[in-house]
Amino acid sequence: MSLQLPQLLHLNVRIFGCRFAATDASVVDQFNDSDAFGQLLGAATRVSEQHTEMPGADIAAMYIALANFVGAVYPDHLDYIDRVLQSCHEVFYL
């Protein structure tokens, strides 16, 4: 299950859109109310656990996208970046 170029471009467009959405306080409030970060981190963890055949580059791309989301939407939450890196480390080394 390798991500193809159109899928990666779509992923990048979505992250780019988050950067603009992050400038609107009401959108950030919606992200906070729905625990968007926790849901995305959980989804990334489940995908990497359930698809063990997934190429490492695709797993890394997924966690990079999540880190970009955190940087755009939650720039003051370094603990979220720590959790993304910890989860990625666990996928590759545990």
- Model pLDDT for residues 36-45, shown as the tens digit of each residue: 889 889 999 9
Report DSSP letters for the chain, one per residue. -PPPHHHHHHHHHHHHHHHHHTTSHHHHHHHHHTTHHHHHHHHHHHHHHH-TTS-HHHHHHHHHHHHHHHHHH-TT-HHHHHHHHHHHHHHHH-
- Half-sphere exposure (Cβ direction) of 48: Cα atoms closer than 13 Å: 23
The two structure tokens encoding residue 33? 């109310």
- Model pLDDT for residues 11-56, shown as the tens digit of each residue: 444 544 555 555 667 766 777 777 888 988 999 999 999 988 989 9
